Every structure is written in structure tokens, then in C-alpha cells.
């Protein structure tokens, strides 16, 4: 039972006969009659009986009609959902917490205003978990940090860079300048759980210099991480863009990490698993206006912090 057969069946009902249905569908009458007989054979039941010169639905035909209407309506909805010119339907997006908090609010608001028929579902997680969610089709796409080994994504995924993040080290205020790992005076690293790409970058930096944190304190949000660093519990690594989230960063110092440099945020999806809604999101994230606005928002936040920043003579930036 295919959609073409159901379309013919519905047309015969609506047009009250084969002749008018054939004209409506631009088919020959014999083709319409043949397709109706084939449908009856597939279902094992007669759909019409002849009453003089007109066709009347049988009880089986009466039963089939509402199902045919629903199936054809659903098919129309599906065709509409995948049309490139009018995104609609559900889009499940995974993202790192830092991106959700700093980069996405304005962009997603603009996306929703432009494409209100898209039901966007957002979930946060580490880069490792999000890549696995995309692999298992549990989200349609995700915003993740470039893994330490970009080749690990293999040929299963497609990616496009959308943001660039500068990683910095956060320490309690007054910490000495950090020019190398051995300048870090606190032995505890405050970080997200394993699977966080930023944690992988900083641990690699430690190991390259023959140093290992004595302890890793795992927390689930940047608010908690910044608060623990401010309280003197340890040091942390974070994108500079998240510094604007801190309600009170007066006890935090920020140190550049030139050995690590900038890390791209990627939009990643399974190859071939693409939709008009995802394509519209990709355009929003990579479009010139979208990136410029996101950068302007970030710069506005960092400029505000810079106005309140005390430049420590030791070389670290104290935020206060």
C-alpha cells in the first residue's frame, strides 16, 4: 500500500467516480481502475461496490478512508518539513555549557524569530558525550570543542567551525604570573568531568611539562568552577568568553595560555543526517552577521570586565 494508491483511492471518493478522478489526477481511466484493484488485492477487501453508474464505498472502504486522509496529510507534512525554503519540525541540538551561556542566546533568539515552525530542543554536555549523542542519533547536531585529535571524528561526521575560543587559566587573585606549568602553585585542577575537551587540552599541557595535578575536582558548571577558584580551591581552564558570567570575579586572576592557543568550536552532525532546520541553523551560526553579533556581545562583556580589571604588576590580569 503506497501513497500513490491512497491518493488515487481518495480522488475516486472525492470525485464520485473513476472518470472524474482520472481527469483530476491526469491519468487514464484504466490506470485508475487498475490501481484500485491492486489496492484491494493488497488489503484483501473490496473498497467499492457499483450502484448503477456510481461507486459506493464498502464498509472496508469507509474504514480505510480516514486512515488514507491521515497518511496523506502526514506525508504532506513530512514534505513540508524537509523543504529547504521553509524549515520546520524538531531540531535537537547539543552544546557545551560555555557556548549555551555565552554564544547562543542572541543567535537562537534570532533563529526562532526567523523560523518559528522549528521546535528547537537544547541539551548540554561535554564534547565527548555530545559527539556520542550525535553518533547514536540522540541529537541531530552538536556544538563541541575541536578534539585534541580532530582525526578522531573520522568520516562518520561532518563539521564546520563556528566560533573560536581563547583558553585562559583562572587562579585565585594574587597568584604569581604563569609562564609555564611549574608556575602553577595550586595542585588541584577544577574542571568538568572527563570528556571535556578543554580539560583534555590543559591536562596535555601539564603532561608535556612532566607535571600532573595532584587532584581533579570535578564540577558541573562554570559558575561553580569560578566560585571554587575564587575560594582558593584550585585552578581552572576556561574560554575567556565565560568570564562575563561571573557575578563577582573580584577574587579571580586570569592568565594567558599561549602554549594552547585558540580552540575552534565546531558544529558537528552525522554525514547524511541533515535537514532544512539544521541547514538554517548552520547558516545562522556561520553567517557573517551572526558571528559578528556574537563577537560584539563577547567584546562588550570583556570590555566591561576590562574597565574593572586591575592589571597586576606580576603579569596576570586580576578581575575586580
Distances from the Cα of 317 to the Cαs of 177, 201, 246, 253, 255, in angstroms? Answer: 9, 21, 15, 5, 6
Looking at residue 170, what is its pLDDT?
94
Is the pLDDT score of 109 beyond 80?
yes
The span from the CA of 284 to the CA of 286, in Å, is 6
Domain spanning 165-261+308-319 has what CATH number? 3.40.190.10
Does this chain's domain 3-81 share its CATH topology with 165-261+308-319?
Answer: no
Could you report the per-residue pLDDT of 210-220, keeping only the tens digit for each?
A: 988 989 999 98
Could you report the per-residue pLDDT of 138-180, keeping only the tens digit for each?
A: 899 999 999 988 888 888 999 999 999 999 999 999 999 998 8
Helical segments of the chain, H only: 3-15, 18-25, 29-43, 59-81, 97-102, 104-114, 127-135, 197-208, 222-230, 276-286, 288-307
Looking at residue 84, what is its pLDDT?
62
Of the candidate CATH numbers 3.20.20.10, 2.40.50.1070, 1.10.1760.20, 3.40.190.10, the domain formed by 89-162+265-302 belongs to 3.40.190.10
Looking at residue 272, what is its pLDDT?
82
> Per-residue b/e over 247-263, b at no fewer than 16 CB within 10 Å?
eebebbbbbbbeebeeb
Sequence spans of domains, the chain: 3-81, 89-162+265-302, 165-261+308-319
Of the candidate CATH numbers 2.40.30.170, 1.10.287.310, 1.10.10.10, 3.60.21.10, the domain formed by 3-81 belongs to 1.10.10.10
Looking at residue 290, what is its pLDDT?
39
Residue 304's pLDDT band, with cuts at 50, 70 and 90, is very low
The span from the first CA to the last CA of the chain, in angstroms, equals 70
Amino acid at each position: 500500500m503506497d501513497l500513490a494508491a491512497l491518493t488515487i483511492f481518495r480522488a475516486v471518493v472525492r470525485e464520485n467516480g473513476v472518470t472524474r478522478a482520472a481527469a483530476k489526477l491526469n491519468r487514464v481511466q484504466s490506470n485508475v481502475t487498475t490501481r484500485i484493484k491492486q489496492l484491494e488485492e493488497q488489503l484483501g477487501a473490496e473498497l467499492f461496490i457499483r450502484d448503477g453508474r456510481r461507486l459506493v464505498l464498502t464498509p472496508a472502504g469507509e474504514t480505510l478512508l480516514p486512515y488514507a486522509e491521515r497518511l496523506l496529510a502526514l506525508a504532506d507534512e513530512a514534505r513540508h518539513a524537509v523543504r529547504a525554503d521553509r524549515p520546520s519540525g524538531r531540531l535537537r541540538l547539543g552544546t557545551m555549557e560555555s557556548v549555551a551561556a555565552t554564544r547562543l542566546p542572541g543567535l537562537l533568539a534570532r533563529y526562532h524569530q526567523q523560523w518559528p515552525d522549528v521546535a528547537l530542543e537544547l541539551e548540554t554536555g561535554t564534547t565527548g558525550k555530545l559527539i556520542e549523542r550525535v553518533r547514536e542519533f540522540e541529537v541531530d547536531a552538536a556544538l563541541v570543542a575541536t578534539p585534541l585529535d580532530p582525526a578522531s571524528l573520522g568520516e562518520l561526521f561532518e563539521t564546520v567551525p563556528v566560533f573560536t575560543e581563547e583558553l585562559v587559566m583562572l587562579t585565585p587573585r594574587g597568584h604569581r604570573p604563569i609562564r609555564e606549568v611549574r608556575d602553577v602553585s595550586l595542585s588541584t585542577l577544577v574542571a568538568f568531568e572527563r570528556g571535556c575537551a578543554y580539560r583534555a587540552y590543559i591536562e596535555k599541557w601539564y603532561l608535556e611539562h612532566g607535571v600532573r595535578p595532584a587532584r581533579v575536582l570535578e564540577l558541573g558548571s562554570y559558575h561553580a568552577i569560578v566560585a571554587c577558584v575564587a575560594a582558593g580551591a584550585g585552578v581552572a581552564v576556561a574560554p575567556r568568553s565565560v568570564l562575563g558570567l561571573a557575578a563577582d570575579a573580584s577574587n579571580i586572576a586570569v592568565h594567558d595560555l599561549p602554549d594552547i592557543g585558540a580552540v575552534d568550536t565546531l558544529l558537528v552532525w552525522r554525514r547524511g543526517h541533515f535537514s532544512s532546520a539544521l541547514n538554517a541553523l548552520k547558516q545562522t551560526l556561520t553567517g557573517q552577521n551572526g558571528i559578528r553579533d556574537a563577537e560584539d556581545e563577547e567584546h562588550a562583556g570583556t570590555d566591561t570586565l576590562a574597565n574593572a580589571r586591575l592589571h597586576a604588576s606580576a603579569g596576570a590580569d586580576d578581575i575586580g
